[in-house]
Structure 1
């Protein structure tokens, strides 16, 4: 596996601070996981190390193959909702946020959120963690980032797709550093611009489009498969958080109410990024567009 692309992702990343508990967003997840694997491998016997290496290699092959199978030149977040499409209105004490969903790309996350919403799970909860020029996070019944569960009672895994990105307004599932740790918490990307380092990195991807990121048994994943020009242009124009792509599940997109997202992101917070005055999710109403 070629690691260059992963290193590029890490250079795009900005530190996520104030992440405590079971669910959150942290750019250190990949590095932490790799460190644990390396430590466990070094402590194994030669035969165990070989088995682990083969297993990891197979897992990498399967992951990148599944990712390769999602590559596309059509990005649903950049289009308007269609008549009859399932949508939801997140009613807050700061205003309404309307979102659409992408069940074909992230079926588990969509089912989980929509079912929770219909059952009133999110009613009265808060956006417990907000960071201006980054994101707003909610959906935790405990209210501090440590709570929440999926509709199945057990956490579930990330559903990575090259068709969905962390554009401004993306609706995503929060998780911990564990590979299977998604529950009820979600976040909305609020960042409306990119820092210069991120802009330069994305611009460089246009020049590196044909560079191979991963070579599989019967496929090659290239930079342009992950960051085609349409995606780069959207990030440069409207903002977002590209450093989170692939690592977290994107399952929806705000199509109305980004001004409300901005209002929430700009409220006064404490040292843990918790609003000093509660930002309340009064209800989440599911319907059709």
Structure 2
């Protein structure tokens, strides 16, 4: 019943489709029991994005979303993402990339076979979350999104509570922002832990009517590494 209510949040709040205004909010690392909002642990897998607008880093949750992470790492190690653009940018919502055709509808999984969603109670679409962008459920390939904001209204807070969200998760959404309407509908597999200012800068560029940046923003490289605390 609890899971049904959470899934129903998608319908309760709005029918937001990923390929379709709030004040600017910086995503901060919180001291929290939520793994997603804490600094990575030593040895965690990470990905370093070098882009036209700077560098940002994400931690990868291979134990929670193994198929998505394996797919992403394989693509990154094969230089699949190098030279690709952020073809969709929606202010205070997301930035999106991973399409070698640059049309918004291209890309393949590393195995050439789409894989199913890996939704989890442990990962949510907080600001900075990295998730698989798919046209249909269980049709994940190469495209991914990064949540770049979203204030949480009183109505949304109430709907999250009705849907069975814990107070800790509700409080986290209030603190850092995000898009709970995407929870349990798309696979979250990573979180930006450094360079969120770069993500927000990309998210503020001028775009056309199709949400495509007027000036192309490219990913120079994506490097897979392990986290070592400074």
Query: After TM superposition, is the score higher than 0.5?
Result: yes
Q: What is the 5 A alignment of 1:58-73?
A: none
Q: Deviations over 1:74-132 (max 9, x none)?
A: 53202211112211111100111100011111000000001111110000001000001
What TM-score results when the alignment is normalised by the length of structure 2?
Answer: 0.87
Q: Deviations over 1:38-74 (max 9, x none)?
A: xxxxxxxxxxxxxxxxxxxxxxxxxxxxxxxxxxx95
Q: Is the 8 A contact 1:95 1:260 kept in 2?
A: yes
Which runs of no fewer than 5 residues in structure 1 stay unpaired? 17-24, 28-72, 209-222
* Equivalent residue number for residue 65 of structure 2: 106
* Equivalent residue number for residue 26 of structure 2: none
Which runs of no fewer than 5 residues in structure 2 stay unpaired? 21-31
* Aligned-pair CA distance for 1:7: 4.1
The Cα RMSD (Å) is: 2.0
Distance 1:155 1:165 in 2: 22
1:13 and 2:11 equivalent?
A: no
Q: Cα 1:6–1:162, aligned 2, differ >3 Å: closer, same or farther?
A: closer
SS at match of 1:156: coil
The one of 170, 191, 201 aligned to 1:232:
170
1:157 and 2:95 equivalent?
A: no
* Equivalent residue number for residue 288 of structure 1: 226
* Aligned-pair CA distance for 1:198: 1.7
* Equivalent residue number for residue 266 of structure 1: 204
Distance 2:40 2:14 in 1: 30
Q: Is the 8 A contact 2:57 2:195 kept in 1?
A: yes
What TM-score results when the alignment is normalised by the length of structure 1?
Answer: 0.70
* Equivalent residue number for residue 185 of structure 1: 143
1:245 and 2:188 equivalent?
A: no
Q: Cα 1:142–1:152, aligned 2, differ >3 Å: closer, same or farther?
A: same
* Aligned-pair CA distance for 1:15: 3.6
* Aligned-pair CA distance for 1:4: 5.4
The structure that is helix-richer by fraction is 1
Distance 1:83 1:4 in 2: 36
* Aligned-pair CA distance for 1:281: 0.5
Distance 1:151 1:183 in 2: 8
Q: Cα 1:170–1:108, aligned 2, differ >3 Å: closer, same or farther?
A: same
Q: What is the 5 A alignment of 1:44-123?
A: 75-123=34-82
* Aligned-pair CA distance for 1:10: 1.7
Q: Deviations over 1:153-186 (max 9, x none)?
A: 1111101111110011001000012x33111000
* Equivalent residue number for residue 68 of structure 1: none
SS at match of 2:197: helix
SS at match of 2:123: coil
Bigger CA radius of gyration: 1
The one of 172, 175, 183 aligned to 2:131:
172
- The number of residue pairs the alignment matches comes to 215
Q: Is the 8 A contact 1:74 1:163 kept in 2?
A: no
Distance 1:103 1:4 in 2: 27
* Aligned-pair CA distance for 1:138: 0.2
